[in-house]
């Protein structure tokens, strides 16, 4: 019986040997395939680029009809078929192309795009940004074509966006993404519940520094037992005085001396204040772990929160939560890379018609009718006009976002939005301070491990110290020690070297 078993079982004796051999063979196979694939990919992109340039030269002939596939990040809206049909009438007339706009759920967007790109699937345009479908990674993986030559022929598109933004978005001196022109600066501030501000006659114009908020929160804490004064602590983005840019979300640079340094230890007063606030009970009891704050805000249980300030923000908050807000600004307006790269469109290396894709992009950036059609749908079916460029949307109608398509500033304004909101935003864009490091990108390869470690330590301590969960002096001593051990000096030296080299090159 046992003999029979061993003869029968396929895991015994010589099968183990066969298995080993097979594994080795397969490993080798996989390795060789891997190498071959990298090579062919390189060749492919090269050949694409050449065919492209020959095609653009023979442009003046009548355009062949083409289909353009564009991936965007949103839920498939209602009435999408009719809207696309109407849009394709315009697009067909102007550039003889048909647009296939594919909506991918925001939760699945990164994963699906990764699959599409690694499978070298054919598509033409895709939404990309520094926070979704990560632009820099995709560029270094060769997912997008260089756009400089194509842009030369699309002056109307090129001129919409300020030169400095084109410059800042270049990777190794070349353009790989077209920014969708919209709000590009960052300004941080607070929102407050308007009813409570009115009830206790709080004068927010007097708030000039962090400490000024303490008596306000104390009032709320004492008189409104059900309301949490502040959503979470924050020590390093509000009321900071001079703007010191941060490299790679890790270390700060003093723009006067160009010294690279760790900003956090200089903020001890802030951390002490946060500790005081925590002890006074200004934060939610589960401040460090609270993830889904939305129900609390909807129920009006939170008095204030840090928010990104922009023209029309109060109306937007009102639309989201259903009650009134007041906001104050607590920082300068700064135009930085993360703002400029927050909405881009890339043209895929697998696209067969890159020059037509670029023409489509020019249309969505300049053609008011087309952009508004793709953003708000069809007049009468999805919205009614209540002013020249003002509309009111119908319930359950077509909904999409202009900032994923092109020029936000030619979009209609919604009921409740200020008529001049886009004009204001554009003005703010122009007035904002330009990040002294705008255009600089840190190459972290030489200190990859150190940076990863430092970031982990930083996040760890940020959660604790921003919310005042422990004694700040002790925590900071601990933090400094850990940062030293993780090689902070080496990273500082490397950053300094790269910043200096970048400054020289300018």
Partner 1 sequence: MSISAIKRNTVSQIIINIFFILLSVSFITPLFAIISISLTSERDVVNYGYSLIPPNIDFSAYKFILSSPSTILSAYKVTAITSFIGVLSSLLISSMCAFSLSRKDFKYRRQLTFYFFFTMLFNGGLVPYYILMTKYLSLRNTYLALILPLIGNIWHMLILRTFFQSLMVEIIESATIDGASDVLIYAYIALPLSTPALATIGLFQLLSFWNSWYPALLFITKKSLYPLQYLLQSMLRNAQEIIRNMEQMSFIAPEELKNVPTESTRMAMCIIAIGPILFIFPFFQKYFVKGLTIGAVKG
Torsion of CA 468, 470, 474, 479, to 10 degrees: -70
What's the closest the beta carbon of residue 299 comes to partner 1, in angstroms? Answer: 5
Closer by beta carbon to partner 1, 150 or else 411 = 411
Distance, in Å, from the CA atom of 346 to the CA atom of 363, rounded to the nearest integer, reads: 15
The Cα 280–Cα 289 span in angstroms is: 19
Q: Is residue 343 within the footprint of partner 1 (CB under 8 A)?
A: yes
Q: Which of 41, 293, 324, 462 touches partner 1 by CB under 8 A?
A: 293
Give CA 78 to chain center in angstroms: 25
Task: Compute the distance between CA of residue 199 and CA of residue 223 in angstroms, rounded to an integer.
Answer: 11
Of the candidate residues 49, 151, 268, 296, the single one contacting partner 1 (CB under 8 A): 296
Closer CB to partner 1, 111 or 198, in the complex: 111
CA separation for the pair 247, 224 (Å, rounded): 41
- Taking the least distance from each CB to partner 1, the nearer of 299 and 448 is 299
- Closest distance between partner 1 and the C-beta of residue 324, in Å? 14
Q: Supply φ then ψ for residue 200, to 5 degrees.
A: -105, 15
Q: What is the nearest approach in angstroms of partner 1 to the Cβ of residue 14?
A: 11
**Rule CB under 8 A: is residue 324 a binding residue for partner 1?**
no
Binding-residue pattern over the window 25 to 64 for partner 1, x denoting contact by CB under 8 A: -x--------------------------------------
Letters for 159-188 (x = contact with partner 1 by CB under 8 A, - = none) are -----------------------------x
Q: Which is nearer to partner 1, 104 or 196 (CB)?
A: 104
**Residue from 170, 194, 301, 490 binding partner 1 (CB under 8 A):** 301
Burial of residue 103, with CB atoms counted within 10 A of its CB: 0-12 exposed, 13-18 middle, 19 or more buried? middle
Look at residue 19 and give its three-state secondary structure. helix
- For residues 190 to 229, the per-residue mask of contacts with partner 1, x marking binding by CB under 8 A and - elsewhere, is ----------------------------------------
Site membership for partner 1, residue 238 (CB under 8 A): no
Site membership for partner 1, residue 299 (CB under 8 A) = yes
Q: Does 463 bind partner 1 (CB under 8 A)?
A: no
Give the relative orientation of helices 368-376 and 80-95 as an angle to the nearest 10 degrees: 160
Contact between residue 206 and residue 215 where contact means Cβ atoms under 8 Å apart: no
- β-strand pairing of 334-335 with 125-128: unpaired
Angle at which helices 268-280 and 213-223 cross, to 10°: 10
Is residue 22 part of the contact set for partner 1 (CB under 8 A)? yes
Q: What token pair was written down for 437?
A: 């490091």
Beta strands at 177-179 and 251-254: parallel, antiparallel or unpaired: unpaired
Specify the DSSP class assigned to residue 2.
Answer: H
Which residues of the shown chain bind partner 1 in the complex (CB under 8 A)?
Answer: 1, 4-5, 8, 10, 15, 18-19, 22-23, 26, 74-76, 102, 104-108, 111-112, 115, 118-121, 131, 188, 291-296, 298-299, 301, 306-308, 316, 319-320, 342-343, 399, 401, 403
């Amino acid at each position: 019986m046992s003999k029979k078993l061993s003869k029968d079982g396929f895991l015994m004796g010589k099968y183990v040997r066969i298995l080993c051999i097979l594994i080795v063979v397969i490993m080798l196979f996989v390795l060789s395939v891997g190498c071959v694939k990298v090579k062919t990919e390189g060749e492919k992109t090269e050949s694409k680029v050449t065919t492209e340039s020959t095609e653009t030269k023979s442009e003046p002939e009548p355009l062949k009809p083409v289909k353009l596939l564009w991936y965007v990040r949103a839920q498939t809206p209602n009435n999408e078929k009719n809207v696309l049909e109407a849009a394709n009438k315009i697009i067909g007339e102007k550039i003889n192309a048909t647009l296939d706009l594919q909506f991918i759920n925001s939760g699945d967007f990164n994963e699906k795009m990764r699959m599409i790109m690694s499978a070298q699937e054919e598509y033409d345009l895709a939404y990309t940004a520094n926070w979704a479908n990560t632009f820099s990674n995709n560029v270094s993986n060769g997912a997008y074509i260089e756009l400089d030559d194509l842009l030369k022929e699309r002056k109307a598109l090129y001129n919409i966006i300020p030169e400095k933004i084109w410059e800042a978005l270049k990777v190794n001196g070349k353009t790989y993404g077209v920014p969708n022109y919209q709000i590009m600066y960052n300004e941080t501030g607070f929102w407050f519940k308007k009813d409570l501000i009115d009830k206790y006659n709080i004068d927010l114009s007097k708030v000039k520094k962090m400490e000024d908020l303490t008596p306000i929160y104390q009032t709320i804490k004492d008189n409104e037992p059900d309301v949490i004064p502040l959503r979470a602590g924050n020590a390093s983005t509000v009321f900071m005085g001079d703007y010191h840019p941060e490299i790679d979300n890790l270390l700060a640079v003093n723009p006067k001396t160009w010294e690279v340094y760790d900003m956090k230890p200089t903020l001890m007063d802030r951390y002490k204040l946060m500790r005081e606030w925590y002890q006074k009970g200004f934060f939610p009891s589960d401040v460090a772990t609270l993830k889904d704050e939305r129900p609390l805000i909807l129920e009006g249980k939170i008095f204030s929160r840090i928010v990104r300030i922009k023209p029309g923000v109060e109306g937007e908050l009102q639309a989201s939560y259903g009650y009134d807000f007041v906001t104050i600004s607590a920082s300068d307006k700064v135009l930085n890379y993360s703002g400029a790269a927050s909405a881009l469109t890339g043209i895929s290396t697998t696209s067969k018609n890159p020059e037509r894709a670029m023409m489509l992009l020019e249309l969505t950036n300049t053609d008011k009718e087309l952009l508004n059609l793709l953003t708000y749908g069809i007049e009468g079916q999805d919205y009614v006009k209540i002013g020249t460029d003002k509309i009111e949307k119908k319930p359950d109608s077509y909904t999409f976002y202009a900032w994923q398509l092109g020029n936000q500033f030619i979009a209609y304004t919604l009921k409740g939005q200020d008529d001049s909101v886009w004009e204001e935003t554009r003005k703010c864009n122009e007035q904002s301070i330009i990040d002294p490091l705008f255009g600089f990108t840190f190459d972290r390869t030489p200190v990859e491990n150190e940076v990863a470690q430092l970031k982990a330590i930083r996040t760890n301590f940020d959660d604790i110290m921003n919310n005042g969960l422990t004694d700040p002096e002790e925590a900071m001593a601990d933090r400094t020690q850990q940062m030293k051990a993780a090689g902070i000096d080496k990273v500082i030296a490397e950053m300094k070297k790269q910043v200096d080299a970048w400054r020289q090159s300018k």
